[in-house]
Amino acid sequence: MPVAARRAPVTVHTDAGAVVLELSDSLDSLVGRVLIDAVSSAVASQAQRVDIDLRSLASWSHEGARALVECREICRDLPDGLHYRTGRGPGRDALLAAYA
């Protein structure tokens, strides 16, 4: 019986000049740390804009949501800033909790 490969918690790609960090499954404290490291790397590579895509999240913790605020601080000097991609559901809930 084949076993499905587990997807990385943070996938990085570019889209129209933005570095896009797509989160999958859960945003907990460990994934939050991975996200912060990925955002720091994007900023260090002279990115103009960073997008954090939360649309594939299934769950989140308050510790993970706090990482979203830290990412904003890391991106404060980017020319085109930090943007979040979200819809209804856990991704939006995590974002709202982060900035509550």
CATH number of the domain to which 36 belongs: 3.30.750.24
Return the closest-CA partner of residue 31 out of 49, 52, 8, 14.
8
Q: How many domains does the chain have?
A: 1
Predicted TM-score (pTM) of this structure: 0.90
3 belongs to a structural domain: no
37 belongs to a structural domain: yes
67 belongs to a structural domain: yes
Q: What number of other Cβ atoms are within 10 A of residue 87's Cβ?
A: 8
Q: According to the model, what pLDDT value does residue 47 have?
A: 92
4 belongs to a structural domain: no
68 belongs to a structural domain: yes
How many whole angstroms separate alpha carbon 9 and alpha carbon 23? 6
35 belongs to a structural domain: yes
Domain limits for position 23: 10-98
Q: What is the pLDDT along the chain (100 residues), one digit of tens a residue?
A: 555 555 678 999 998 889 999 999 999 999 999 999 999 999 999 999 999 999 999 999 999 999 999 999 999 999 999 999 999 999 999 999 999 9
